């Protein structure tokens, strides 16, 4: 977090509250980059006392209301703020800065006897709903056993996920790979990205997977809402209120469909590139993009 030409830019919940306080004390303007969905507070606050949770949410909402501008990256977060009566003219939806050329890779070619390879790329957190992902995979295996699944990511839910994998006897088809920094080298080995999160600020892995030639099967969160409205090919959305068997059946039907080669896909994905980033604020943001900024997340 750093003050630049009277603008204090912040990213992260703790930094947002600090920026609001500094802006008040120094008569500056607070500009918030809201990468995370504020809805994750509904999940992450479960470990806090009721009073602490309320204070956490109230102070954060005050910081949002005090901000000069809030940059959001998806329709989901935009609607979150509008439903809480924040002025529409202070909320700007911008691309997250996706670089399409870095994600394009040739699609993996399957043989008729090859297993269908599914990848999950996610922080292993409660709001990512990954126990449900394993429930769906358990049901999918009963329908079609020729699948393998790899999870990439770390997080506090890992032990629970490993235990559920063991109890559900999924160890022969589900593998936890840990954190991977170079995902562009991972995607070509898979056929489909599975995403089960309850909420997202954006979810760049969905755009990356589509650009890499994968199908994407996802909950209706983050950038999926934007992509769905653009009739994006090779994207299937499931209902988070449905049970695991229903979702597994839908996933199996989607797996059986051929992947579509749509020349409009690049045009759609380019909407989220750096080239289309228009911030509507003074050029000091260019300094922030070109310099290393220390952020307190």
pLDDT one-digit tens code per residue, 103-162 = 555 555 554 447 899 999 999 998 899 999 999 999 999 998 899 999 999 999 999 999
Tracing tokens 């056929």 back to the chain, one arrives at: 191
Query: With pLDDT > 90 as the criterion, what percentage of the chain qualifies?
Result: 36
At 139-149, the pLDDT tens digits run 999 998 899 99
pLDDT at 151: 98
Residue 241 or 38, more confident: 241
pLDDT at 277: 55
Q: Are 117 and 108 in contact (CB under 8 A)?
A: yes
pLDDT band at 284 (very low <50, low <70, confident <90, very high): very low
Tracing tokens 């051929």 back to the chain, one arrives at: 258
Give the contacts of 240 (CB within 8 A, at least 6 positions apart): 129, 198, 219, 220
Residues 210 and 215: their CA atoms lie apart, in Å, by: 6
| Fold of the CATH domain 100-270 | Rossmann fold (3.40.50)
- Sign of torsion over alpha carbons 155, 157, 159, 162: negative
246, pLDDT greater than 60:
yes
Q: Are 187 and 214 in contact (CB under 8 A)?
A: yes
End-to-end CA distance of the chain: 9
Options 3.30.750.24, 3.40.50.720, 1.10.10.10, 3.40.50.2000; CATH for 2-94+278-290 is: 3.40.50.2000
Q: Which two tokens stand for residue 136?
A: 């769906």
2-94+278-290 and 100-270 share one fold: yes
pLDDT at 144: 85
User: Counting beta carbons within 10 angstroms of the beta carbon of residue 4, is it exposed (0 to 12), middle (13 to 18) or buried (19 or more)?
Assistant: middle
Whether the predicted model's global pTM rises above the 0.75 cut: yes
8, pLDDT greater than 90:
no
Q: Return the domain boundaries, the chain.
A: 2-94+278-290, 100-270
Work out whether strand 7-10 and strand 2-4 pair parallel, antiparallel, or are unpaired.
Answer: antiparallel
HSE-CB for 218 with a 13 A CA cutoff: 32
Query: With pLDDT > 70 as the criterion, what percentage of the chain qualifies?
Result: 80
Residue 284 or 279, more confident: 279
At 58-82, the pLDDT tens digits run 888 888 998 888 988 888 888 889 9
Q: Which two tokens stand for residue 87?
A: 């002025």
């Amino acid at each position: 977090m750093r003050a630049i030409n009277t603008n204090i830019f912040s990213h992260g919940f703790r930094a947002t509250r600090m920026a609001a306080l500094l802006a008040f004390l120094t008569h500056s303007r607070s500009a918030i980059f809201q990468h995370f969905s504020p809805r994750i507070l509904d999940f992450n606050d479960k470990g806090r006392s009721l009073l602490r949770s309320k204070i956490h949410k109230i102070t954060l909402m005050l910081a949002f209301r005090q901000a000069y501008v809030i940059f959001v990256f998806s329709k989901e977060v935009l609607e979150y703020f509008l439903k809480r009566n924040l002025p529409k003219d202070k909320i700007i939806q911008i691309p997250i800065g996706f670089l399409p050329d870095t994600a394009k890779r040739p699609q993996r070619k399957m043989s008729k006897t090859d297993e269908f390879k599914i990848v999950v790329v996610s922080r292993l957190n409660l709001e990512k709903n990954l126990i449900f992902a394993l429930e769906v995979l358990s049901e999918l295996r009963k329908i079609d056993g020729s699948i393998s699944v790899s999870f990439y990511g770390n997080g506090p839910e890992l032990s629970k996920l490993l235990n559920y994998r063991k109890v559900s006897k999924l160890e022969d088809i589900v593998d936890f790979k840990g954190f991977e920094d170079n995902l562009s080298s991972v995607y070509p080995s898979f056929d489909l990205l599975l995403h089960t999160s309850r909420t997202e600020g954006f979810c760049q892995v969905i755009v990356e997977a589509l650009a890499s030639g994968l199908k994407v099967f996802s909950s209706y969160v983050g950038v999926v809402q934007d992509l769905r409205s653009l009739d994006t090919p090779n994207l299937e959305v499931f209902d988070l209120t449905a049970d695991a068997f229903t979702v597994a059946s839908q996933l199996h039907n989607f797996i059986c469909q051929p992947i579509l080669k749509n020349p409009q896909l690049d045009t759609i994905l380019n909407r989220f590139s750096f080239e289309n980033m228009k911030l509507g604020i003074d050029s000091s943001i260019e300094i922030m993009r070109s310099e290393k900024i220390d952020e307190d997340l």
